[in-house]
Structure 1
Amino acid sequence: MSYGVAAALQSAVYRRLSEDGALAALVGTDIYDALPTGALPPLYVVLGAEDVRDASDKTGAGAWHQFTVTVVTQSAGFATAKAAASAVSDALVNASLALDRGMLTSLNFHKAKAARIGTGAVRQINLTFRARVADDTSPN
Structure 2
Amino acid sequence: MSVLKSAALQEAIYAALSGDAVLSGLVEGRIFDEAVHLDAPGADPGPYVTLGDETVRDWSAIGLTGGIHEAQVSVHAPTGGFASVKGIAAEVERVLSAPLAPASGRVVTQVLRGARARRVAEGGRRIDLRFEFRVEA
Displacement after TM superposition at 1:36 (Å): 4.8
Specify the alignment match of 1:134 in structure 2. 136
> How many residues get paired?
133
Q: 1:56 aligns with which of 57, 60, 69?
A: 60
DSSP 3-state at the match of 2:68: strand
Question: 1:30, 1:41 within 8 Å by CA — same for their partners in 2?
Answer: no
Specify the alignment match of 2:92 in structure 1. 88
DSSP 3-state at the match of 2:51: strand
The letter of the residue matching 2:75 is: V
The letter of the residue matching 2:130 is: T
TM value normalised by structure 1: 0.90
- Aligned pairs for 1:8-19 (under 5 A) are 8-19=8-19
After TM superposition, the runs of 4+ consecutive aligned structure 1 residues lying more than 2 A away are 35-41
Q: 2:114 aligns with which of 111, 115, 121?
A: 111
Displacement after TM superposition at 1:2 (Å): 2.5
CA RMSD of aligned residues (A): 1.3
The structure where helix makes up a greater share of residues is: 2
TM value normalised by structure 2: 0.91
CA distance in 2, matches of 1:74, 1:35: 12
Gap runs ≥5 in structure 2: none
CA distance in 2, matches of 1:35, 1:72: 10
Give the percent of matched residue pairs that are identical in Structure 1 and Structure 2. 38
Question: 1:68, 1:126 within 8 Å by CA — same for their partners in 2?
Answer: yes
